[in-house]
Amino acid sequence: MSVLRQLYQLQLVDSEHQDKSRQLAMVNDGLGESDEVIRAQEAVVETETGLSKLRAQLRALEIEIGGVNAKLKQNQDRLYSGRVRNPKELSNLQEEAAALRRRLSELEDGQLELMISVEETEAELSERQARANQIEATWRAEQARLQAEKEELEFRLAELEEECDGMRSQIAAADLAGYDNLRSRLGGTAIVRLKKGTCTACGVDVPTSMARAVEHGDGMHNCPICGRLLFGG
Residue 66 maps to a domain: yes
- For residues 197 and 213, membership in a common domain is answered with yes
Q: How far is CA 107 from the centre of its chain?
A: 47
* pLDDT 10s digits, 121-147: 999 999 999 999 999 999 999 999 999
pLDDT at 96: 96
| CA angle in degrees (0–180, nearest 5) for 52-57-58 | 95
The arithmetic mean of pLDDT across residues 73-82, rounded, is: 93
One-letter identity of residue 96: E
206 shares its domain with 139: no
Which CATH number does the domain housing residue 51 bear? 1.10.287.1700
Which pairing describes strands 198-199 and 229-231: parallel, antiparallel, or unpaired?
unpaired
Cβ-Cβ contacts under 8 Å for 8 (sequence gap 6 or more): 191, 193, 231
Assign 1 a pLDDT band (cuts: 50, 70, 90).
Answer: low
Instruction: Find out whether 182 and 227 touch, Cβ atoms under 8 Å.
Output: yes
Task: Indicate the length of the chain as a whole number.
Answer: 233
Q: Tell me how far apart the alpha carbons of residues 40 and 38 are, in angstroms, rounded to a whole number.
A: 5
Residues 217, 110 share a domain: no
Examine the domain organization and report whether 85 and 146 are in the same domain: yes
Final residue before a domain boundary, out of 168, 197, 218: 168
Query: Which domain, by its residues, includes 204?
Result: 3-10+172-231
Question: In the chain, what percentage of residues exceed pLDDT 70?
Answer: 100
**Domains contained in the chain, number:** 2
* CA nearest to 213, candidates 14, 2, 15: 2
CB count within 10 Å of CB 16 equals 16
Q: pLDDT tens, 89-125?
A: 999 999 999 999 999 999 999 999 999 999 999 999 9
Q: Above pLDDT 90, what percent of the chain?
A: 95
Residues 215/175, Cβ–Cβ less than 8 Å: no
Residues facing 230 on adjacent strands: 192
Compute the distance between CA of residue 138 and CA of residue 123 in angstroms, rounded to an integer: 23
What residues contact residue 172 under an 8 Å CB cut-off, 6+ apart? 3
- Residues 148, 44, single domain; the answer is yes
